[in-house]
Amino acid sequence: MTRKKMAMAALATWVAAGAALAHSGATGVVRERMEGMVAMRDAMRDVTPMMRGEAPYDAARVAEAGRAIAAHAGSEMTRLFPEGSADGVSYAKEAIWQEPETFDALAEELRRHAEGLVKAAPNGLTAPDPHAGMAMGGSMAGHEGMTMPDQSSDRAGPGAGYSVAQLLGIEPRRSAEQEVSGATATKAAGSSAPGYATLAAPDVFRRIGETCAACHGRYRAGS
């Protein structure tokens, strides 16, 4: 099966999952969080062809997708997982309430990356040249005190290093222990966030997908 066909199969699965929501019988907070997950899925699906170079790039739509994902991430996501809401039609695993700090870290990482996509959207598919506009041999006056973003930590987050095949479930992902280790590393990194405005939009979009994959692999039944 070609990569294109595999991607289409994955999208078909997402669509079926969204349709199943209407008939799942979910109510209350469980339904609310399911709808949030579907909204994030739809936002990612909308811009995926652009990130692959298969559709014209639209910076406004990419930024809109980032805002949509951010609106359902972070504390907005974690508030929808109160104790005792794993029963019935929920796909949530008990590990969410057994490891609240790790789950919170992943939700917050997703929010950061989603907001980062808004910042990176104007860059398009290629990261901007940091030396653009600087004359050869020009002075660095006026740049004193300016610090470069720490790019060493933005690949250390949960889910970092996944291939497309792993994200589509074609190849095995890392173990749960490795996922937790990655989340711990992200929390320890603290404020060392990547300079999103210096990155190409697909680089940030990949981080969103990796974080989603890490969270689903650890906390969603059937992953």
**Domain spans of the chain, in order of start:** 28-128+152-219
Cβ-count burial 48-77 (b if 16+ within 10 Å, e if not): bebbeeeeebeeebbbbbbebbbbbbbeeb
* Span 71-102, pLDDT tens digits: 999 999 999 999 988 877 788 999 999 999 99
Place of tokens 């349709």: 19
* Span 30-39, pLDDT tens digits: 999 999 999 9
Q: Are 55 and 194 in contact (CB under 8 A)?
A: no
For 45-79, the DSSP string reads: HHHHHHHTTSS---HHHHHHHHHHHHHTSTHHHHT
Tell me which amino acid residue 120 is: A
How many angstroms separate the Cα of 184 from the Cα of each of 51, 101, 119?
29, 9, 26
How many angstroms separate the Cα of 57 from the Cα of each of 68, 123, 196, 208?
18, 10, 18, 18
Continuous H helices in the chain:
3-21, 28-51, 59-71, 75-78, 95-98, 100-120, 164-167, 176-189, 201-219
pTM of the model: 0.66
Domain 28-128+152-219: give its CATH superfamily: Cytochrome c/b562 (1.20.120.10)
Structure tokens at 125: 């598919």
Does 40 have pLDDT greater than 60? Answer: yes
Q: Are 201 and 124 in contact (CB under 8 A)?
A: yes
Place of tokens 């050869």: 136
How many angstroms separate the Cα of 211 from the Cα of each of 23, 171, 179, 217?
28, 17, 10, 10
* Span 109-154, pLDDT tens digits: 999 999 999 999 999 999 887 665 544 344 333 333 333 333 333 4
Top-confidence residue, 222 or 108 = 108
Q: Which of 22-26, 33-37, 160-164 holds the top average pLDDT?
A: 33-37
- 190 burial level (CB within 10 Å; 0-12, 13-18, 19+): exposed
